[in-house]
Amino acid sequence: MKLNTKSRYAVMALADMSKFPLNDPISLRDISLRQSISLLYLEQIFLKLKKNDIVKSVRGTNGGYVLKRDPKSIKLSEIFQALDQKVKTVGCKKESKKGCNGKLAKCITHELWDELEVYINNFFENKSLNDLLINKNRIN
């Protein structure tokens, strides 16, 4: 089980932003330099964050992105969702009656994996952007 870079970078970038005065637009270029994330990749990521109302954009010189809400109210689960990222531990389609084996009942392990999915989603549900900043006295 691996976490992909897109989600990781998204959280990293947003965490970076929330260390600065809110309402001040922050350019992706700055984030890119500070966090060593490819600018072009960040653009892709932020487009999705914007579409999902997590940030808003300010165009033109001195433009950039601004957090749309208080970091306290931005849950990690929202960020993941914004990037179309899902925790998928079951092998079947949840909506379907069929199991991962193609048969008409769910397999022996279905319940287990479902439980795991809920368990992991819980983690994301209970973390806000703000929770990352408790250590305000860090350098990076």
Partner DNA sequence: GTAATACTTGACTATTTTAGTCGGGTATAT
Partner DNA sequence: ATATACCCGACTAAAATAGTCAAGTATTAC
Task: Please report, as ranges, the residues that interact with DNA according to CB under 7 A.
Answer: 2, 4-6, 25-29, 38-41, 43-44, 46-47, 50, 57-65
Is 21 in contact with 139 (CB distance < 8 Å)? no
In DSSP terms, 89 is beta-bridged to none
> Distance between CA 71 and CA 41 in Å, rounded?
23
Contact characters 75-94, ligand FES, x per CB under 6 A: ---------------xxx--
Residue 42 lies near a second copy (rule: CB under 8 A): no
Contact indicator for 113, 94 with CB cutoff of 8 Å: no
d(CA 69, CA 71): 6
Contact 49, 79 (CB under 8 A): yes
In the block, tokens 């914007």 appear at: 50
Applying CB under 8 A, which of residues 3, 22, 39, 47 lies at the interface with a second copy?
3
* Residue 92 binding: pick among ligand FES, a second copy, DNA, none (C-beta 5-8 Å cut-off by kind): ligand FES
List binders of a second copy among 78-107 (CB under 8 A).
85-89, 91, 99-103, 105-107
Compose the 49-78 pattern: x for residues touching ligand FES by CB under 6 A, - for all others: ------------------------------
CA nearest neighbour of 65 among 94, 30, 89: 30
Residues binding ligand FES (CB under 6 A): 90-92, 99-100, 106-107, 109-110, 113
